[in-house]
Every structure is written in structure tokens, then in C-alpha cells.
Amino acid sequence: MKFFLLLSAIGFCWAQYDPHTKSGRTSIVHLFEWRWVDVALECERYLAPKGFGGVQVSPPNENAVITDPSRPWWERYQPVSYKLCTRSGNENEFKDMVTRCNNVGVRIYVDAVINHMTGSGVSAGTRSTCGSYFNPGSEDFPAVPYSGWDFNDGKCKTGSGDIESYNDAYQVRDCRLVSLLDLALEKDYVRSTIANYLNHLIDIGVAGFRIDASKHMWPGDIKAVLDKLNNLNTKWFPSGSKPFIYQEVIDLGGEAITSSEYFGNGRVTEFKYGAKLGTVIRKWNGEKMAYLKNWGEGWGFMPSDRALVFVDNHDNQRGHGAGGASILTFWDPRMYKMAVGFMLAHPYGFTRVMSSYRWTRHFVDGTDVNDWMGPPNNNGVIKEVTINADTTCGNDWVCEHRWRQIRNMVMFRNVVDGQSFTNWWDNGSNQVAFGRGNKGFIVFNNDDSTLSATLQTGLPAGTYCDVISGDKSGNSCTGIQISVSSDGKAHFSISNSAEDPFIAIHADSKL
């Protein structure tokens, strides 16, 4: 029995569900559209010291240069080849980033766009980020190479060749997603070509992949690609480690395709998480935080050990993808910090923090017509992520991961890792609290009245620094102090008009 347990523990550690973060690091951050040189610096100067486990980077492979609209962020989801050459940097810069991040214990996860190539309507003669020739009209991508044989045209049964209904699993997998040329992943040549691309990245030292548009590929085809992948680079990972896999499948219920079909391949994005949490924090549809008591599987989410969770992603923060209006983003900072704080304190799922750039929103009839706008740039060249004296970012990079409340909750999650969900309390409305064993405790007041309560924290007696209103530095605290008595109880008072109406304390914030 013992031997079996040991084997299954090892099996889990080395398998595709494990992010291979350095021990004690429990979250990753999506540095959306950052340049590789800036990611490398951020690993060294911020992510490693603050306990982040890894970075999801934007697609590193060559893409079409879209000029109408002018250099949208989404051009990176229109591959031209698998050369590592984009607005974020070239192959040498990519390698340097992976090496430097790994050397400080921060992993790199690549956004792998393998379902398709460019849009069918992109005109021949369109430039690409590395100068490779391609012709969408004749399905010719000589820099890979792919030709007409390598696409799904024959299999798709819709009149337009595009996905017309999400109620038909065949359409969703065999037809074109928004006219993007759909690769024939049933072909061994296509599978091997994709595997070669991913293996190149693995050999450089990446720790895993976000598989873009997984819903649009058959689970068995994805598996066939994954079966061809190398183990991770032993310079940084134990021998026999498999890449971490998380598949982008949008399953809010009610469609032909469900997330569970993909569990055999790796983790899956849980889109219900951000959609529901946004609804609760906004208090829409009669939802209240008290209902979060059984958050997780109790809300109909997938099993925790299969879930990749997030409050918002690069799509739904600007109205793409799914989730709708309830999604919270940096544009609603007060509610957003509460949502991210709740996510990072709660044991469910493997957590990803979003890090965005600011763009000029312009709503026409409720739709942001500037949802396409690319990262801060000078004539198309991505701007550097500058760091201000107060540690926030300049040049319109939002850097949510550097907000004190979010950065400190990433550390909170590390400190309480492995501890159970304990000491739930609620007032029947929007004042709630819970602990993580004897390591951490968090209290929220999302009601319209002051919270004043003496609660069981589960923590050892002492004075703790609230990591939301301030930081512990040495033996002093720049924020609110909470004193826990010998019976584990502490008094909390949170005004409903507080800038951040929540308090979090943990073992390492003890003074």
C-alpha cells in the first residue's frame, strides 16, 4: 500500500497536471504581450523574490502582421510559421528569457497556437513578423511547410467552411474558427510538425503549454501530439518530467463539447470560475458571498486537480471569448482585488493571475469597438515595461501582479499551500471569512454596512500584519494590525467604504 501511494505521488508529480513550479510556489502570471527582455528582467527583479511560480507568455511563433486594424493583439493568434520571431522578440531573446527565469526558479509556459494558421481572408502578400512568405488563399505556408493537404477543408460540412453552431461537435472541431485555416490534426505529418515545434520549446527549457482553442481539436488528436513530446530539460527539471498542459476549453454548459473530454490530456481552463465569481462580487442575480461556502466542485466546476482558474483572461477582459459582462478586470479595481484575493486564498484549482496593458476603451451600444487594440507601442514596436519609483509599471502596462493586494495574496497562497479550507463564517449576506488550517485567514466585507465580528482564525496567538492594507517589514507593519488571542480568535472591523474591504493575515505576516 505504502509503495503504491509513493508511486502514485511520483506519478502525479511528474505528470502533465503538475506545473513543475519550484516547491512552495503556487501561482503563475500571464504577462500578456510582454517582450522577452522585459519578462526576463521581471523574473529576476520581481517574480522570483515575490514567490511567483511561472509566467504564461504570448505566442512566440511567427504570425501575420495585421494592418487593418493596425497591429491588433490578436494577430498573434494567426500563425505563419513556427520560427520564434514575433513582436515580443527573436529566438535568442526567447532562449535568454527561459534560461534566466529558470535560473531564478520561475517557469515559462508557452501559449501554443496549433489548431490553425492565419485567417483564410488574410490577403496574399501580407507581411509576417519574420518575413516568411505565406498565402492563405492557396493554404501555402512554405516556412513550416504546410500546404493544402494539411488542412481540414474536406472534413468540414458547413456551407461557409466556418463553425456555424456550437451544438455540433463535428463543426466545432473540423471547421474553421472565425475563418482561421483549420489544421488536419488527424494527419501524422501535422502532428509531428507541431510536436517538433513544441519539442524545440521544451528543449530550450519551457515547463509547459497553454493549448489554445483546444475545444476546436479532437481530444485524441491532442493526445497524439502530446505523446510525441520530449520530457522537460533536465538542466532544470527532474528526469522523466512531462510538460504541464492546460487546454483552453470554454465550457459554460449547454454546448456539445464538455471540459471533461479533455481531462486525460491535462488540465483545462475553468471559465465558469471567473464568470460566477464576477457575478457574486457584483451582487448580480441575487448572488451573495455567503453562497461561496461550497465554492469549487460544489458550484458545478470541474475537479480541482484538473482546473486552471483565473478571474479574467486576455479575451474576456475585452469582450472576446466567453464569460460576458460579469467578468471583473482591472477596470473595476476595487471589486477586482477582492475577486483575485478570494481566488488566491481559496484552495480550488491552479491559479493564474492576469497582467494587462491599458487601452482606450470606446463603447458603442455596449460594445468596446477598441477591443482589438494591441499593446503599448511606438509605430508597432512594443514599448518597454518601465518601473516607477513606487514599483508600479509605466508606459500603460497595468501590472496587476504588482498591486500590493494581489502580490501579497500570491504569497499568502504559497504560505497556506496544502492546508485545508477551515473556519468558514458568514453573516448570511456578503460578509464572509475563512481560514487555511493554522496558516492563514481572510475576511471580506462586500455588504453595505460595517463588518464587526470576533472570529475563529485557527492561527496561533500573536499580532499579525494585514497584507491587504500594508506590508510587514522587519517587525513592523505598514497596514492594519490584527491580534489573535490564545484561543485563536480575533476581532475584525472593516468599513464598507474601506478602499479595500478585506483583510488577510498569515503565518509569515506575524510580527
- Which residues contact ligand AAO by CB under 6 A? 74-75, 77-78, 113, 119, 121-122, 166, 177-180, 212-213, 215, 248, 250, 252, 255, 315, 320-324
Q: How far is the CB of 416 from ligand AAO (least distance, A)?
A: 30
CA atoms lying within 13 Å on the CB side of residue 305: 8
Q: How far is the CB of 165 from ligand AAO (least distance, A)?
A: 11
CB closer to ligand AAO, 150 vs 248: 248
Q: How far is the CB of 333 from ligand AAO (least distance, A)?
A: 24
Residue count of the chain, please give it. 511
CA atoms lying within 13 Å on the CB side of residue 276: 21
CB closer to ligand AAO, 1 vs 364: 364
Annotated active-site residue 447? The verdict is no
Q: How far is the CB of 59 from ligand AAO (least distance, A)?
A: 8
Distance linking the first and last C-alpha atoms of the chain: 43
Q: How far is the CB of 167 from ligand AAO (least distance, A)?
A: 10
CB closer to ligand AAO, 172 vs 415: 172
Instruction: Write out the three cell numbers for 10.
Output: 511520483
CB closer to ligand AAO, 162 vs 471: 162
Are 450 and 439 in contact by the 8 Å Cβ rule? The answer is no
CB closer to ligand AAO, 65 vs 507: 65
Q: How far is the CB of 252 from ligand AAO (least distance, A)?
A: 4
CA dihedral 455, 459, 462, 468 (to 10 degrees): -70
- In single-letter form, the type of residue at position 164 comes to E
User: Distance (Å, rounded) from C-alpha 422 to C-alpha 420?
Assistant: 6
Are 345 and 504 in contact by the 8 Å Cβ rule? The answer is yes
Run of H or E residues at 111: strand 107-112
User: Distance (Å, rounded) from C-alpha 375 to C-alpha 394?
Assistant: 13
Cβ-based burial of 362 (10 A; exposed 0-12, middle 13-18, buried ≥19): exposed
Instruction: Write out the three cell numbers for 397.
Output: 502596462
Are 54 and 207 in contact by the 8 Å Cβ rule? The answer is yes
CB closer to ligand AAO, 44 vs 162: 162
Q: How far is the CB of 220 from ligand AAO (least distance, A)?
A: 18
CB closer to ligand AAO, 171 vs 445: 171
Query: What region, left, alpha or beta, does residue 307 occupy, with left being phi > 0 and alpha being psi -120 to 50 degrees?
Result: beta
Task: Provide the 10 A C-beta neighbour count for residue 454.
Answer: 10
Instruction: Write out the three cell numbers for 414.
Output: 504559497
Q: How far is the CB of 154 from ligand AAO (least distance, A)?
A: 21
CB closer to ligand AAO, 114 vs 459: 114
Q: Nearest 5°: phi and psi at 421? A: -80, 115
Annotated active-site residue 212? The verdict is yes
- Residues ≥6 apart with Cβ < 8 Å to 101: 39, 40, 43, 44, 47, 54, 55, 107, 108
Among 212, 221, 287, 447, the one annotated catalytic: 212
- Residues ≥6 apart with Cβ < 8 Å to 349: 270, 273, 296, 301, 304, 307, 308, 309
- CA-nearest of 213, 310, 297, 299 to 262 is 213
Among 42, 75, 248, 400, the one annotated catalytic: 248
Q: How far is the CB of 75 from ligand AAO (least distance, A)?
A: 6
- In single-letter form, the type of residue at position 333 comes to P
Instruction: Write out the three cell numbers for 220.
Output: 485524441
User: Distance (Å, rounded) from C-alpha 296 to C-alpha 287?
Assistant: 15
Q: What residue is closest to ligand AAO based on CB?
A: 119
User: Distance (Å, rounded) from C-alpha 418 to C-alpha 436?
Assistant: 9
Active site residues: 212, 248
